[in-house]
Amino acid sequence: MKVYRIDISSWTASFRYPNIISGYQPTLPVPPVSTVLGIINACAGRYLNFNGLEIGYYFDYKTKATDLETIYQVEANGKSVSNKMKSNVINREFLFDCRLFIYFKTDIYLDYFKKPHYPVLLGRSGDLASVDKISELELEKQERANNIRGQIVPYENYMLPGIIQALPEYFTDEIPRKNIGTKAFSIIPFDASEFETTVTAYRDIIDDKEVDIYFHQLKF
């Protein structure tokens, strides 16, 4: 199958767990679908409607570490925010030397990545990334993929081993934003071992390693 691949890299990345607000801040080992769609929006410079899109991606990194971070907390009552502020120091996990490969079955999004409108981020505002390469590939279909890694796959129907976490697929463009397509996903790190699945995927070769890319079919 013909696909288009976008290669993105960054020094650091951090993808927070949705329900962890205070205390130690771990990072997910793979970005949620909503983060990847947010990158496309940043490149386009506007909010896009992704209903019906088929998209796959793979993410890896060299190492994981923890750093101290200063945050600023303000008082709020649900209607207004006061001007009182206090600082706090927390431990935040981050990923170093990261790569994200985004796969499309269509070429309609490619021009956005050639000259991004807004900065490309892999997580937080300090996790600046660059678009390194845009290429056209032929991937072989795998009916029972056994090299699913560096990705998230819906838990329902597949029940793959990994970190099970409820994540949104997208957000609305209203204020306050609302989650769209929240469901349970299996989060499978890039260094996971091979295992058998019933997933239909498409095989790429990254650093001489077989990776089977699962394509999300977005229906909002």
Domains and CATH numbers, the chain: 2-214 (3.30.70)
Residues of the chain with pLDDT below 70 are 77-79, 81
Predicted pLDDT of residue 195: 94
CA angle 170, 176, 181 (to 5 degrees): 25
Instruction: Write down the mean pLDDT value for the chain.
Output: 93
pLDDT at residue number 69? 81
How confident is the model at residue 75, as a pLDDT? 75
Q: For residue 20, what pLDDT is reported?
A: 79
Sign of CA dihedral 104, 149, 204, 59: positive
Residues 6+ apart with CB under 8 A from 71: 87, 88, 89, 90
First to last CA, the chain: 25
pTM: 0.93
pLDDT at res. 177: 87
Task: For residue 113, count other CB atoms closer than 10 A to its CB.
Answer: 21
Predicted local distance difference test score (pLDDT) of residue 65: 95
